[in-house]
Amino acid sequence: MLFSQFMQEWLYEDRGYYSQERTIGKEGDFYTSVSSSRYFGGTIGYYLYKLILKNRLPRNTVVCEIGAHKGYLLADLIQFIYTFDPDLIKSLRFVIVEPFEPNRVMQKSYFQDSFADEVVLHHVASLEEIQEDFGFVVANELLDAFPCELFQDGKIATIVDEELQWIKAPENATKLATELDLEKGELPVGYEDFFQNLTRSFKKLEFITFDYGEWKAQNRFTLRTYRKHETKPFEEIDFSKDYKISDITYDVPFEYTKDLALKHGLDGEYSTQVKALIDMGILEILEILEKNVTHADYLKEVATVKTLIDPTILGERFKCLRLRRISS
Ligand SMILES: C[S@@+](CC[C@H](N)C(=O)[O-])C[C@H]1O[C@@H](n2cnc3c(N)ncnc32)[C@H](O)[C@@H]1O
């Protein structure tokens, strides 16, 4: 079986890592920006609020999260919008793209606890079910959870008897490796379809995505697993014992990703997470907060923001693409 198929099964098929209920954060296998601070989704919400103020998006825009896990990011976004313009949460329409029923149940219940009947949450199983005029779409660590092929010296990996075996790469894999300018590393699978579906779903679109990665593919294997906050690099992964019980992921090559988006009519900014959050207004939010809470509470909140923007924590290891439609 091709490695991409094996990774798809690992993460999403019967009893796959993500097809069952998972905890993200302290009690789980890894942290994400979402699980680290509510100012992550909050800043994205503030940015959306400002886009609407500038008439760049209408008040009935569809706000959509993909790969939402428990729904914390979208809920934080809504909570922050509420503090700036309580009426806006009545006209915006909130959607989560969620293929897995256990996650849909968790998200519904979290929204019910957080907002009672003030906010209506809609679900779709895939982007193909959406056909809207205006979309504001967010994703955190979505693309690094797509499967990939492993490529090395003109060969790609297969899994035979739970071990890696290398076979001559088909032409399309060699072509992609040339495009990514790598002799060794991951070849992402599914990105092209993703951008096609995304741009078919919304006529006017702002898309924001954060992921581990670098501008250029790194010419080495970045594939790794996470379990109980321990990381195993590629060389140490046990494709039998770690199967389905650890998260498996890799670095997103952003130049390739942005080129694909451009092919589908989207363009915009690539930056580190810290730069993106500052551009979207995280420091303005802190200034507002400082004026409205005690200094002790302010310092508590700043500590969580630090995790998001400190270059030695999440600020630079994570990158962001903020894209919008430039043509249809
Ligand atoms: C690394 S987790 C990130 C979860 C959350 N966004 C966070 O930051 O805490 C990736 C999530 O993306 C979801 N996912 C992967 N492919 C997807 C797709 N095509 N549509 C919707 N969700 C997807 C997985 O099921 C998983 O819940």
Give the CA diameter of the chain: 63
Q: Write out pLDDT tens, residues 53-70.
A: 999 999 999 999 999 999
To test the ligand 1 pocket, which listed residue (18, 31, 231) has its Cβ within 8 A of the most ligand atoms? 18
- With helix as H, strand as E and coil as C, how does 32-81 read? CHHHHCHHHHHHHHHHHHHHHHCCCCCCCCEEEEECCCCCHHHHHHHHHH
pLDDT at 291: 96
Domain parsing of the chain, residue ranges: 3-325
CA trace torsion 248, 253, 259, 260 (10° rounding): -10
Q: Which of 258, 170, 158, 205 has the alpha carbon at shortest distance from 62? A: 205
Mean pLDDT, the chain, as a whole number? Answer: 96
Report the predicted TM-score, pTM, of the whole model to 2 decimal places: 0.97
Give me the amino acid identity at 249: T
Is the CB of residue 19 below 6 angstroms from any atom belonging to ligand 1? no
Q: Write out pLDDT tens, residues 314-323.
A: 999 999 999 9
Q: Which atom of ligand 1 has the smallest separation from the CA of 247?
A: 1
Confidence grade of residue 21 (pLDDT, cut at 50, 70, 90): confident
Mean pLDDT across 223-233: 97
Q: Report the separation in Å between the CA atom of 251 and the middle of ligand 1, taken as the mean of its atom positions.
A: 15
Among protein residues, the one whose CA lies closest to atom 24 of ligand 1: 67
Q: Report the separation in Å between the CA atom of 70 and the middle of ligand 1, taken as the mean of its atom positions.
A: 10
Q: Report the separation in Å between the CA atom of 10 and the middle of ligand 1, taken as the mean of its atom positions.
A: 14
pLDDT at 313: 93
pLDDT at 326: 79
Q: Is a pLDDT exceeding 70 seen at residue 328?
A: no
Q: Report the separation in Å between the CA atom of 139 and the middle of ligand 1, taken as the mean of its atom positions.
A: 8
Q: Write out pLDDT tens, residues 167-194.
A: 999 999 999 999 999 999 999 999 999 9
CA separation, residue 236 to residues 121, 203, 243, 283 (Å): 41, 45, 13, 40
Among protein residues, the one whose CA lies closest to atom 13 of ligand 1: 67
What one-character DSSP code corresponds to residue 29?
S
Q: What are phi and psi of 120, to 5 degrees?
A: -100, 125
Q: Write out pLDDT tens, residues 105-162.
A: 999 999 999 999 999 999 999 999 999 999 999 999 999 999 999 999 999 999 999 9
Q: Which CATH number fits domain 3-325: 3.30.559.10, 3.90.1170.50, 3.40.50.12710, 3.40.50.2300?
A: 3.40.50.12710
Helix (H, G, I), strand (E, B) or coil at 114: helix
